[in-house]
Amino acid sequence: MSSGRNAGRRAILHAWLAAGLTGAAGGALAQAGGARLAPTPSCGDEARPTARQTEGPFYSAGPPERSDFRRDAPGEPMALVGLVLDTRCRAVAGARVDLWHTDRDGHYDNHGYRLRGYQLTDEQGRFGFETIVPGLYPGRTRHFHVKVARPGGRVLTTQLYFPGEPGNARDFIFDERLLMEVREGAGGRIGRFDLVVA
Ligand SMILES: [Fe+2]
């Protein structure tokens, strides 16, 4: 993996994180790599909490606070970005976003914290992970696992999915409400999903 690719992806992620979001309350817009991401599908004046899904058998309690997983395992680079919003579409600062997923071969690290970690949203409710595209394992389509909680709030556990993935139609856990917006950036894929917490 060249440092140029890394620098490009970091630049995109930082640009996204630095971009002024046009009113999280009115439908957030973000600039990423010069292209406009669609308004978040989950927010108008009011939003339903993000759908809950099973944690599955591979969550490891007590992950470290970290947002860059790229050195954990080889793979296709991917950024996962979004906002944490409340049901009135207001950004939630200091929310905890916990991400875990497989390596490119579909294996979880069940002994350590590779491809696992959490971060807190910034004052504008934003989070951004730099990681790799997860692989596939039997019975499941491609997915990320996420837990999110506002400060002092109840933990919402869910999973995020990839548009156009052939396995989506065959996975009985798959929920199209949990599809990320995924686009190709200069340094890899950028997945966006805004998490709504009650
Ligand atoms: Fe999983």
Using CA atoms, how far apart are residues 143 and 153, in angstroms rounded to an integer? 25
Q: Do residues 186 and 12 lie in contact, with contact meaning Cβ atoms separated by under 8 Å?
A: yes
- Provide the token pair at 1: 């993996």
Q: How far is CA 56 from CA 49, 51, 53, 113, 184, in A?
A: 20, 15, 9, 16, 29
CA–centroid distance, residue 174 to ligand 1 (Å): 11
CA–centroid distance, residue 166 to ligand 1 (Å): 16
Amino acid at site 76: E
Mean pLDDT by 10 residues, the chain (198 residues): 54 54 30 40 75 97 97 97 93 97 98 98 95 98 98 96 98 97 91 94
Using CA atoms, how far apart are residues 171 and 157, in angstroms rounded to an integer? 18
CA–centroid distance, residue 176 to ligand 1 (Å): 16
Instruction: For 80-112, write each residue's pLDDT tens digit.
Output: 999 999 999 999 999 999 999 999 999 999 999
The whole-model pTM stands at 0.83
Angle at CA of residue 172, ends 127 and 97, nearest 5°: 15
